[in-house]
Amino acid sequence: MAFVGILAALAFFLFICYLLMSARHRARPKTWPLLGVLPNVVLNAYQIHNFVHHLLRKNGYTSHLKVPMFPELSHLLTSDPDNVHHILAQNSSNYIRGQGFRNIFDVLGDGVIAADGESWKLQRRLLHSLFKQPEFLKMEEKKVRAKVESGVCKLLDRAARSGSEIDLQDVLHRFTFDIACWIALGCDASSLSFEARHSQLLKAMDDIEETTLRRYFKPRVFWKLQRWMQMGVEKRGWRINKLFEFIDQQISLRRREPPETEGGEAEVIVKHSNITSRILSEEDQTELAAKFSNKNQLDKFIKDLVFSILTAGSDTSSSALAWFFWLVETNPSVKSNIIQEMRQAEHESHHVDHVWKFPNSHKLNYLHAALCETLRLYPAAPFNHRSSVKPDTLPSGHRIDGGTPVVIPMYTMGRMQEIWGEDCREFKPERWINDGSVVHYPSNKFCSFGGGARICPGRDLAFMNMKIIAAAVVCNYDLHVVDGSRIKPASAMVLRMKHGLKVRVTKKNIICRTSNHSSDE
């Protein structure tokens, strides 16, 4: 059977190569016998986000992509707001992650991103119980400020002094990875240090994003054969294994920490201000004890949850920030408005503190709007995957069977005139402001953080972190995008920049005020 599978995979590969070569020399049909639209998708894999956008625009924003020879590759794509509301909210119980998603994203295990049912509910409760604690938020704000000042600002200062180019996207990825490690594992990966120890871990995250997207349009037998033969993107699994080893080591270290026996509830929360320590401190409680009969099962549960946090909390935030800084630097009026808002919120000062304190960032509504506008145009997670449990009819009239994969492309939704008007391709933070307050659009129009019951539990935390670093960088530095830079999205499950964001840095002479001292101190 294994030999037959190998032959089938090789035959499929050769057939696809033939079709792609043929397609370059003559007009392609919309569909192919047996393979449906698959050759067109594969041919456009390098520009998958724009390909999906144009495909949906021509088909009323809902299209059923069928691959008769490989039914597992058939998907329903929709960015229709009524359909999105139906899937994410109105009939959300019928749309789960599903086994097909877990097959593609096997590295996520049963973590909160991939889980369904009771496992997902338990992980959501654990995350909410930590993220809503005032003591945790204070610790997180303090950690982020320190990391921005001692890590990000130090690297930008060094680049400004030397006049050298710096890949800002890489710096942001290191920053968000360190913060995600602190939240998930209670450790500092020190990725921003000049002698960074964990560069392979960061590359592993990029590998996962690219590999999983390509699995969407490869038969399972084919990509599993690639992994077995160590071919193509699947051969990068050794770096992913290094990431798992790192997580295992940190879980073991947290287990060896002495239990909290003294102090009040606030002190306990501070000590257990990371997901791993928090779960380990509660492992004897009824719910966890009933679900996990031994240490290995609990460690696997923690490992899967931690990996989801590292993926969702690191890659997505760094991607959003990279696009934000590029858009701000290429739209001078927006940058001017952000700086003006910061000066109004707190008068400029010669105080040497680089980092804007979070309590003050609540005042920065225009900055918040600019971040939302960035996520509209360049959603960090551009695809939202669901799978139907039972047959259903969408508001658009499309009938789907049970077990049908459904994909909502947020990249397309952010470029729909029907939602955002004729200026939908413009970077315009003002669309998020009404009478000085931030406008909150429903998830069937703006769902960069998901929607319904599965909305991102770390949304407020992400905005807090992004506003702290965005304010600090915009306030204290001018970024100059290197001439000739090719700014385009990567074909990956996280919408990072394919070639990074190469900039030169100039440090401003006047530092924005970041403390609560009066202006005449």
- pLDDT of res. 512: 54
- pLDDT of res. 78: 98
User: Cα–Cα distance between 457 and 351 in angstroms, integer?
Assistant: 35
- pLDDT of res. 287: 72
Query: Which pTM value belongs to this model?
Result: 0.89
Half-sphere exposure of 339 (CA within 13 A, CB side): 19
Average pLDDT over residues 285-309: 86
- pLDDT of res. 514: 42
Contact 473, 149 (CB under 8 A): no
Task: Calculate the alpha carbon distances from 449 to 134, 281, 378, 508 in Å.
Answer: 22, 29, 12, 34
User: Residue 227 contacts by C-beta under 8 Å, 6 or more apart in sequence?
Assistant: 234, 235, 237
- pLDDT > 50? residue 521: no
User: Cα–Cα distance between 162 and 156 in angstroms, integer?
Assistant: 10
- Per residue in 57-73, pLDDT (tens digit) is 999 999 999 999 899 99
322 burial (CB, 10 Å; 0-12 / 13-18 / 19+) is buried
- pLDDT > 70? residue 153: yes
- Percent of the chain clearing pLDDT 70 (strictly above): 84
What CATH number was assigned to the domain covering residues 2-507? 1.10.630.10
User: Cα–Cα distance between 352 and 345 in angstroms, integer?
Assistant: 18
- pLDDT of res. 20: 52
Label residue 490 by pLDDT band (50, 70, 90).
Answer: very high
- pLDDT > 70? residue 271: no
Q: If you count them, how many residues does the chain have?
A: 521
- pLDDT > 50? residue 28: no
User: What is the DSSP pairing of strand 405-409 with strand 75-78?
Assistant: parallel
- pLDDT > 90? residue 470: yes
35 or 458, which is more confident: 458
Q: Taking the CB of residue 158, how many other CB atoms lie within 10 A of it?
A: 13
User: Cα–Cα distance between 493 and 208 in angstroms, integer?
Assistant: 8
- pLDDT > 70? residue 188: yes
Closest-CA residue to 365 (of 443, 294, 436): 436
Label residue 164 by pLDDT band (50, 70, 90).
Answer: very high
- pLDDT > 70? residue 15: no
Residue by residue, DSSP assigns 32-64 as BTTTBTHHHHHHTGGGHHHHHHHHHHHTTTEEE
User: Cα–Cα distance between 185 and 189 in angstroms, integer?
Assistant: 10
Please tell me the least confidently modeled range out of 76-80, 153-157, 291-295, 429-433: 291-295
The answer on whether 512 is annotated among ligand-binding residues is no
User: Cα–Cα distance between 191 and 184 in angstroms, integer?
Assistant: 15
Provide the sign of the torsion angle of the four alpha carbons 262, 268, 271, 272, taken in this order.
Answer: positive
351 or 406, which is more confident: 406
Mean per-residue pLDDT over the chain, rounded: 86
> How is residue 89 written in tokens?
């909210």
- pLDDT > 80? residue 480: yes
The residue with tokens 């990249």 is 411
Average pLDDT over residues 73-78: 95
